Amino acid sequence: VRAGLLRYFAALLGPTDSNTDDRKAAYDVALYTTTPELRHRRPALYIVFSELVRHMWNRRALPVEDLIDVLTIPDNLHTLDIAADADDQGDFSNSIVRDRFSLAVDLLCCACFSLPEQTRESALRSIWRRVFLSDNWPEIHRNTTGNVPDCVLRSELLNTTLYRVLYSCWTTRKLAHPDWYLLPADAFSSSDLDYLVSTRLMPQFGPESANNSSIQWKPLSTTTALALTNDYADEDKHLQAAIDCGLDGYYSEILRLVAEQDSTPRLDDDDEVFASNDDESDDQMDTD
């Protein structure tokens, strides 16, 4: 995943000088992959994201929680025209971008037994909170309120990020355990704030890390720590606004659509083989 993201970031920046400063490259990536709205509304999270990208740019491994942040914080990721190399990694990098939220759930699921409970639960809430925030629920509410045909509601919901993530997790990744799917109201907990800022991020970004030569992080000031707390609170504020626009009901309807799509008979590869053999047999009988 890290290699695929780095390839995507490199393609995003285009040809660069080998002497390009890693911080500038990371900040450029952060700038290109976020909207002005996110940078204005959650500036501290934007700073954290850019520093995590710089950490990756320096070929240092990220803990699962940090990798999840890299996948879920940016709100302006799009597939790029990445030329395939000898290992055909171009499409793999784009697939990471397309499926980044469900991939984040996948990563957490794989690492869950090695993580403390608070770490696991906090990361899971962050993933689903950002999934819910990735769609414009006030606009969807406006488009589906009143005497609106069912086909309009269906079309709106099928085009949401939430639908794509739930469909991917349920049908492709087979994450059937209900604990991995959170309701909107469960995607934020005030108890996470102290953990996320004081326990998780401050030791990495704080001044004490600057004195440790093995940790190459930009110091996180007290002011930035407060701003980071405000940013997480802003995520919760917009989540509550989405819930007020009927997110709970839309979530239930999307789950129904996912179950409906999953129960639709699909022709798999074996069926195609059998069908092909049947056709050949029929042709042979006609010839005879």
Mean pLDDT of the chain: 81
Round to whole Å and give the CA distance between 215 and 223: 21
pLDDT digits (tens, 9 = 90+) for 9-28: 888 887 765 456 778 888 99
In Å, how far from its chain's centre is CA 63?
16
pLDDT beyond 90 at 4: no
Per-residue pLDDT tens over the stretch 164-173:
999 999 887 7
pLDDT digits (tens, 9 = 90+) for 100-117: 999 999 999 989 889 999
Q: Is 176 helix (H, G, I), strand (E, B) or coil?
A: coil
* pTM given for the model: 0.82
How many helices (H) and strands (E) would you count in the chain?
17, 0
Q: What is the pLDDT of residues 25-40, one digit of tens each?
A: 889 999 999 999 999 9
pLDDT given at position 37: 95
Dump pLDDT digits (tens) for 129-160.
Answer: 999 999 999 999 999 998 889 999 999 999 99
Q: In the chain, what percentage of residues exceed pLDDT 90?
A: 47
pLDDT value, residue 117: 92
Q: Determine the Cα angle at 286 with ends 283 and 288, to 5°.
A: 110
| Identity of residue 268 | D
The predicted model gives 233-248 an average pLDDT of 96
3-state secondary structure of 122: helix
Residue 264 DSSP symbol: S
Q: What is the pLDDT of residue 241?
A: 97
| 189-223 pLDDT tens trace | 988 888 888 778 766 665 444 444 444 455 567 78
Residue 75 has pLDDT above 70, yes or no: yes
